[in-house]
Amino acid sequence: RIRRQFNMEVGKFEGVQEATAEIAAGAYMLEAMRQLVTRGLGDGAPSVLTAMAKYHATERMRDLVNHGMDVVSGRAIQQGPRNFLAAVYQALPVAITVEGANILTRSLMIFGQGAMRCHPYLFDELQTLQRDDRDAALQAFDPLLLAHLGHVGGNAARVLVYGLSAPLTAPTPHNCSEFSERWYRLISRFSASLALSADVALGVLGGDLKRRELLSARLGDVHSQLVIACSILKFHDQTASSEASTAHAEYAVRSALHSAQGALLAFFDNFPLRWLALILRGMCFPTGRVLKAPGDEQVRTLGALIMEPNPVRDTLAGFVYLSTDPEDAVGRVETTYRMLLEVEDAFVAFVKARSKGNIDADDLEEGLSEAAQKGIITAEDVPRLLEYDRRRYDCLLTDQFDQLV
């Protein structure tokens, strides 16, 4: 919003909004997931949740920082104290590779641990089979197997019913908001599809599923995106409701569920038994894809909101240190942005008058004085606009050094 090109804020270009909308929705998603995961840790939740968080939070961070580099452009590659992105960009490989390399986490840990910890029967079945007393093991295993088969049949029935009812019959939490209800129904539908697909894959491939890392990774992606979608809806329903929060939540949850849908379809496309894959796909998606990615209108909405003061911006900023020191790299931009909010009407009026040829002077100070004389701005606006322009120019400067070190 501070930087302008062709007499328009750079952030209003739709190509830029495509990146800034992802940044806005991604920041919202990351905070929602952080709160869910830390609550889960406090409650002693299984480690699979932290594996999901580690992988998807760091991968999302990588995407958002890259978007930030695109938006800030050449200014972001000039290293020095004024650059607020370079150090974060350089640190990305650390987040991706340390404390569980992301390739390993996605391919082996998320679904590998998730299938064992989250399945209602699988862990007990394996524990039973490892008993020393063979007769007692078989006696205990039969009821578990029957219950497991009933679970698979129930999931298959739910998948069909939810798919054909689109999915009006899918359950929702009793205390969810009207906004969240539709999305929870989709989560219930995709959850049933995931459960059925995972059971079929385990039944057909058995232990080989772990070695089929591409398949197990996709099932892990579905599981993770459903958890992310739940965290977004929970965060939305627990924070103050506003048009801005709803816009961010809708974009973020739509992205998560669209990714879950894509991972399911990719799993079916690559499942080794083609006839069984076609049956599964027909059961889970009897009418085809059910969800589109965020559209252009949503991109424009979030691209505009990220440049405006709004409750979501205030909420997310409340969880991080935000400098207001004009000598700090971030504080310099933030204080200039706040001043822009105060003088923007006068600044835009002056810029428009100048572009239309209503201001003859080339010098800024002389042009502002002329604009005040012609009633385009007030006399009080002149010193404030001069100060804002000084700060604006200072924000755009890169570091320069007398010698290389």
- Model pLDDT for residues 273-300, shown as the tens digit of each residue: 999 999 999 999 998 999 999 999 999 9
**Residue 121 to residue 207: CA distance in whole angstroms:** 16
Catalytic residue at 99? Answer: yes
Neighbours of 374 (CB within 10 A): 11
Which DSSP state fits 292?
Answer: P
Please name which of 366, 342, 343 lies closest in space to residue 354, comparing C-alpha atoms: 366
Q: Is residue 354 a contact partner of residue 347, using CB atoms and an 8 Å limit?
A: no
C-alpha torsion 393→394→395→399, nearest 10: 120
Confidence class for position 405, pLDDT limits 50, 70, 90: low
Structure token pair of residue 178: 């009207």
- Whether the CB-CB separation of 370 and 361 falls below 8 Å is answered with yes
DSSP code per residue over 61-75 = HHHHHHHHHHHHGGG
By three-state DSSP, how is residue 263 classified? helix
**Residue 402 pLDDT:** 83
pLDDT surpasses 80 at 229: yes
Residue for token pair 């706040």: 338
Nearest one of 390, 359, 387 to 375, comparing CA atoms: 359
Q: How far apart are CA 195 and CA 215, in angstroms?
A: 14
What are the pLDDT digits (tens) for 153-211? 888 999 988 888 876 788 888 888 889 999 999 999 999 999 999 999 988 988 788 78
Question: 4 in helix, strand or coil?
Answer: strand
pLDDT computed for residue 46 by the predictor: 66
Q: With beta carbons less than 8 A apart as the criterion, state whether 220 and 111 touch.
A: yes
Quote the tokens at residue 401: 């050094």
Please give the helix or strand (H or E) that residue 81 lies within, else none.
Answer: none
Catalytic residue, from 14, 99, 181, 308: name it. 99
